Structure 1
Amino acid sequence: MFRATRRLLAAAPSAVKEAASLRTKLSTGITGIAVHPEPLSALANSYQSTLKVLEAIPASAVYRQSAEAITRERLDVVKRVGADKADEASIEQVEQAIGAGIVEELIMQANDELKLAGKMIEFKAWEDLEEAPAPGQWEPFRVTPSTTTADDLHPN
């Protein structure tokens, strides 16, 4: 029983070294998040997939508009730097330009957004409610001066 475990443990460091060998970075510094061997191409692929999925949502939907804008902006950053480059300087440029964490975190965010877009299509969140809300249901969430600007309070 322990012989098999020893063999697996002996093989693990070499597998980690092989995966990280495409990059010079050995650790993300975040427990549970490994260094991605080709982060920029993975990021570009995820962004492109998200944009394709978002096309199924009506263009008038606020979610589509905001998700599409952010995704296009980030994809442009990756393309500008060069998705085919895997050197640390390019990866660092993307991280700084986007400003939302290290590239491995950006990949996780992009994949989460892709999943959310699929869920939004499934739930059809842009459609009207099937039943009207009960009177006063949204009262606690009313717009108040502390959450708005002066322009919001006096529309002309």
Structure 2
Amino acid sequence: MRRTLRQLAAVKPSRFLEPGAPTGLTGLYTHAAPRSTLLYLYSSTLDKLKEIPESSLYRQSTEALTKHRMSIISAVEPEGYKEWSEKAKQVIAEHPEVFNTPEGGVDHDMGRHLKILRDGKVFVRSKVEQEADDTTEEWDGEENLGPELEGTRSTEERKGQSILGMKRPGEDEKTIVWEEEPPLTADQISDLETKIGAGLIEEVIQVAEGELKLVDTMVRAKVWEDLEEKPVEGQWTYFMRDTGTPVTQPPPQK
């Protein structure tokens, strides 16, 4: 039903879904890279679950579900994925100063690209700089002194301007060409949604994001440890109907 809503929301059905297009669900729009996003979220969840003891039922159930869904996502590859993967590995190998992550999975930022280790896997995240909109930004309290004065400046005001012409644009920056992972077709995404059985792929992403946040909460709370205050006897006993005792009806009144 929800996949039908997505199709009805699309004005021009095509082989690929248009990122940002309506899905048919209010406030939920078509994700640009669902496959790589889910693999990153699932790998991050599995990585954080290692902080919880293996005896924990929460870890066991979450790992089982996460690995199951991750195997479904990994089995579906977009067209040209192998060629893209080989090229991506070559770019990372040729530019270690840009993609440089110390052992242990510490994120390292060099410009627009981040190389991240999660559960033994390598991910590259690109940082997209958003243009600032003065009409929507909140006032920071700085006093508006009006436009800058025109004309010549004093020696003190011109201090430090001499070095501006010494640097060329991009001279101290390392730029590379990074291609994003090829997209899945609409049919591939529909097949994934059918196999997972949890709604649209965008809804699956929302659930994965929530699970990743929940792991942090569980780790901080140390839910696997015993309670400081032991529960009293019968505290966790729910009210249940005793089906073993026959129920007798009183005789009708005359």
Q: TM-score, normalised by structure 2?
A: 0.45
Aligned equivalent of 1:47: 42
Structure 2 CA distance, aligned partners of 1:30 and 1:141?
39
Secondary structure of the structure 2 residue equivalent to 1:139: coil
One-letter identity of the residue aligned with 1:60: S
Secondary structure of the structure 1 residue equivalent to 2:198: coil
User: Runs ≥4 in structure 1, deviation > 3 angstroms?
Assistant: none
Counterpart selection for 2:214 from 106, 112, 116: 116
Aligned equivalent of 2:56: 61
Counterpart selection for 1:136 from 218, 234, 244: 234
Structure 2 CA distance, aligned partners of 1:119 and 1:44?
21
Counterpart selection for 1:28 from 23, 44, 50: 23
The verdict on how the C-alpha distance between 1:82 and 1:24 changes in structure 2, with shifts beyond 3 A counting, is same
Question: Is the Cα contact below 8 Å between 1:24 and 1:88 reproduced in 2?
Answer: no
One-letter identity of the residue aligned with 1:40: R
Secondary structure of the structure 2 residue equivalent to 1:104: helix
Secondary structure of the structure 2 residue equivalent to 1:72: helix
Q: CA deviation at 1:138?
A: 1.5
Gapped regions of structure 2 (runs ≥ 5): 1-15, 79-180, 244-254
Question: Is the Cα contact below 8 Å between 1:95 and 1:101 reproduced in 2?
Answer: yes
Q: CA deviation at 1:98?
A: 0.5
Question: Is the Cα contact below 8 Å between 2:18 and 2:32 reproduced in 1?
Answer: no
Gapped regions of structure 1 (runs ≥ 5): 1-21, 146-156
Structure 1 CA distance, aligned partners of 2:18 and 2:215?
34
Identify the structure with the greater helix proportion: 1
Alignment RMSD (CA, Å): 2.0
Superposed CA deviations along residues 40-85 of structure 1, whole A, max 9, x for unmatched, are: 1111111111010111110110000000000000000000012754
* Residue identity (%): 42
Question: Is the Cα contact below 8 Å between 2:45 and 2:212 reproduced in 1?
Answer: yes
Identify the structure with the greater strand proportion: 2
One-letter identity of the residue aligned with 1:39: P
Q: How many residues align?
A: 123
Counterpart selection for 1:78 from 60, 73, 85: 73
Q: TM-score, normalised by structure 1?
A: 0.72
Q: CA deviation at 1:141?
A: 6.2
* Greater Cα offset, 85-94 or 61-70: 85-94
Question: Is the Cα contact below 8 Å between 1:46 and 1:114 reproduced in 2?
Answer: yes
Alignment of 1:6-17 (within 5 A): none
Aligned equivalent of 2:131: none
Counterpart selection for 1:38 from 8, 33, 46: 33
One-letter identity of the residue aligned with 1:35: T
